[in-house]
Amino acid sequence: MTLHVEPVARVEMLIRRPVAEVYRAFVDPAVTSRFWFTRGSDVLSPGAVVTWYWDMYGVSAQVTVKALEPNRRIRIEWPTPVEWVFTERTGDATLVVITASGFSGDDDAKVAQALDSMGGFSLAIAGCKAYLEHGVELNLVADHAPDAHVKTS
């Protein structure tokens, strides 16, 4: 197989909440930890390097903030580029589009990374929707691979 186009992971979801609330859900770890990662070292800010933790899996990731446009766009390196675009819709709704790109390795590895990224961001955006619209924490990320949880004493 030879790729003719570099793979890109793209997910989108309409979240029926005001754009400022949806944007905050992805920049403030106090909110994000309710539907995606366990905790974050700080709020996203321009040029910041923050750490996101998935304690149940014993992993963390350093994230570098490349661009923040309040209520419009977030761009990070993790280690590849990831961008959130927030588009205000009528009726206090927000369309969120998340795009991840820049995958590395051979063609098979790039495709595998794109598919994995698309799956992960699909869970995150669905969890965000449930939390913001209904106040429900679905535990999608934690329950996705329960056998991979780190054993604690």
Domain enclosing residue 19, as ranges: 9-145
Q: Which residues are registered as beta bridge partners of 86?
A: 96
CB atoms within 10 A of CB 55: 15
Domain assignment of residue 4, yes or no: no
153 within some domain: no
28: Cα separation from own chain's centroid? 12
Residue 150 placed within a domain = no
Has residue 152 been placed in a domain?
no
If one counts the domains in the chain, the total is 1
- CATH number for the domain that contains residue 65: 3.30.530.20
What would the pLDDT profile of 24-54 be if each residue is shown by its tens digit? 999 999 999 999 999 999 999 999 999 999 9
pTM: 0.95
Instruction: Count CA atoms closer than 13 A to 117's CA, side-chain side.
Output: 24
Question: Vertex 125, ends 26 and 79: CA angle to 5°?
Answer: 60
Show the tokens assigned to 96: 């969120």
Per residue in 107-145, pLDDT (tens digit) is 999 999 999 999 999 999 999 999 999 999 999 999 999
**CA nearest 18: which of 80, 81, 70, 79?**
70
